[in-house]
Amino acid sequence: MFTPTLFLTAAGVGLAVAAPVGPMGMLCIRRTLTDGPRAGLAIGLGIAGGDAIYGLVAALGLVSVSHFMLAYDKPLHIIAGLFLLYLGIRTMLQKVPADNGNSQDNEGKLANIGHAGALKAFASALLLTLTNPQTVIMFAALFTTLAPRGPFSSSVALTTVLGVFCGSIAWWCFLVTAVSLARHAIGHKLRVIIDRIAGLALAVFGVVEVKRAL
């Protein structure tokens, strides 16, 4: 049975979990600045989708799956760290395209990037999110805290997962909208500086992930 109070509480938790700026937040900001809102939203959907998958694993009690993922916790962190390091170095070396002053050309470019790059951005964000199997533990603790007294039914679990997913999506939509509005207000030089800072941050996050696994 759907419980509005539980859904709203879980949505608040999902919003609070997504809001702190970490490597995925930097990636979302960077892709929105360089490739447009469609790419940024695809990143957000990929992150929320990964969280939802792990949430379902915890909610449905798939012990074998969660144990398998946790058993390979260190290799997954190394993979995630190396991928973040690659993204950071690539970002710092990549040239930021300058605005040509033609809004129709810019919109066309964003449309092409949106169709070809949005799916790739979604997949990369989803896979990167799935390299953190400790999310299962977070959701298990979340379910224990938020669930009402009584038997932990599947409807309660799914309501909680849906709430967290919607809260996370709400944050990413807000972030992409804010960055998209700022994107048209800042100049090319400032965008280059922001892009370099984002690349450096991603590389640092990658090194931290690798060291964490060693």
Q: Which tens digits make up the pLDDT trace of 184-200? A: 777 777 777 877 888 88
- R_g of the chain computed on alpha carbons: 19
Nearest to 179 by CA among 30, 21, 46, 42: 30
pLDDT digits (tens, 9 = 90+) for 114-135: 576 788 989 989 988 888 777 7
One-letter identity of residue 166: C
Residue 11 scores a pLDDT above 80: yes
Structure token digits, residue 63: 């012990």
State mean pLDDT over 43-71. Answer: 78
Per-residue model confidence (pLDDT) at position 65: 65
Q: How far apart, in Å, do the first and last CA atoms of the chain sit?
A: 44
Residue with tokens 């060291």: 211
This prediction has a pTM of: 0.76
